[in-house]
Amino acid sequence: MTIPSSPTTYLLAPLAGYTDLPFRMACRRFGLVYAHTPLIDAGALVYGNRDNPLILARGPEEPWLATQVLGSQPENLRKAGAMLNVMDFDVIDFNMGCPMKKVVNRAAGAALLNNPELALACVQVLRDVVTKPLTVKMRILDVDDPGPTVAFCQRLHACGVDGIAIHGRIATKIYSGPVAAKIIKAVRDSLPASFPITANGGIFSYDDAERLRLASGCDRLMIARGAIGNPWLFRDLLAGTPSTPIDHAEICEVMHEHISGMVALYGETGAMILGRKTVLSYLCGRGYRRALRAQASTIATKADFDALFAAVEKEGPIGLPGEAVTQD
């Protein structure tokens, strides 16, 4: 397909458990250029976790790929940064935005925003060893007062980072509530126009993206949960068009290709376990029967997937898009 040009740059966020190679390839099919691997823990990288190669796998034809490192121990980050620096990535990103309990309980992710001196020390050790562009993904610090977020971002800029992505919610809200675009705009206005600021949060459609672009003043937008089960979102974003119902045959084709890519990467057993939520994400909200969607949670073998896929392909949606979700 011909990918239209767009004045806005769209980036796929790093999503643990999702934005692996098969997920990215599904999105790239519809125009995605700028993508991140799932986040990787600095300690896991340093100590050789067996899943590292799967998390960091890059396809031979991927045009641009960043990886995101997570951690709060400067020495581990120093070692991990040096390791990632010699790998095939275009950018190294540092996570200061993950709000999940298992992360913040280790003083990592968004928890670093409560300890700015440690956060900046972590950024500095990465800046010392990473010769590639180094960026930071973070959350706002206050929903009403832009001052704390602006001041912290100015300190990040002084550390020599090459860009900042800002999720417009405080960490305790996780993914709920409105996105405080005005706080992101205050950061955008406080730093040089040439310094990249990326706005993140709440983009599930082209209209969502336009609202955030205009309110934040950012021409770089990051897509996260909106791409799960919906790689077509990038087609809409790049074409500048509202979302339209996806043809049943195309849903089946893309889902099958996605799961096949997972089998190639993880092997049958791993792919089927990880693929349950992937299959469900393609079926939810598109009019497929609840009974079919329920089968996705029990897939254990490729034969199980093939049987479900055959049933989905034959039956197709029986309701209007969105009906199956609202009935649950």
Query: How far apart are alpha carbons 259 and 242 in whole angstroms?
Result: 27
Closest CA to 254 of 71, 30, 10, 49: 30
Q: Which of 27, 98, 153, 284 is catalytic?
A: 98
Query: What single-letter DSSP state applies at residue 108?
Result: -
270: left (phi over 0), alpha (psi -120 to 50) or beta: alpha
Number of Cβ atoms within 10 Å of the Cβ of 122: 28
Residue 38's Cβ-side half-sphere holds a number of Cα atoms within 13 Å equal to: 18
Residue of 258, 198, 211 lying closest to 237 (CA atoms)? 211
CA angle 150, 156, 157 (to 5 degrees): 90
Clarify whether 252 is annotated catalytic: no
Q: Kind and range of the H or E element at 220?
A: strand 220-223
Q: Cα(113)–Cα(115) distance, rounded to whole angstroms?
A: 5
Q: How far is residue 286's CA from residue 322's CA, in Å, rounded to a whole number?
A: 6
Report the catalytic residues: 98
